[in-house]
Amino acid sequence: MAQDDKSPTILSEQHAKLNRDIVVLESIVQLALESLQDFATLLSRLNTATHYAARGDVSDEDRRWVMGVVHLLGEECELDAQRRHETLRLSASRYWLTTYGGNARSPVWR
């Protein structure tokens, strides 16, 4: 680290960038936790539906209906995961470009 890198102004700027990075990481973790909660809810619904369909006293028509619901829930989960992934990817890209200009050699990374 050069002497110039230790100036109060540069240290203050780096501290501000670090604080912004922490806020962004916290929001990503929050989104990931929400995704896990949604996924757990979906698995619970799928579990309930399959347990119902596995009962011996369920008609074939009801089984077909349950399988249709399971299929729709699976598609819903896949679409939701794709949306969340795209949102995170775009947010991270936008943040990287606006904060660091996409420069991996930025002084913050040294």
**Cα separation, 82 vs 76, whole angstroms:** 10
0.85 exceeded by pTM: no
**Cα separation, 92 vs 89, whole angstroms:** 5
Question: Following CA atoms 101, 107, 108, 110 in sequence, which dihedral angle do they give, to the nearest 10 degrees?
Answer: 130
Q: Which two tokens stand for residue 29?
A: 């973790």
Each domain of the chain, given as residue ranges in start order, spans 60-104
Q: How many other C-beta atoms can be found within 10 angstroms of the C-beta atom of residue 66?
A: 19
Cβ neighbours for 42, distance < 8 A, ≥ 6 positions apart: 73, 76, 77
Highest mean pLDDT range out of 1-10, 27-36, 98-107?
Answer: 27-36
Mean pLDDT (whole number) for 101-109: 57
pLDDT per residue as tens digits for the range 26-69: 887 887 788 788 888 888 888 888 888 888 788 889 888 888 88
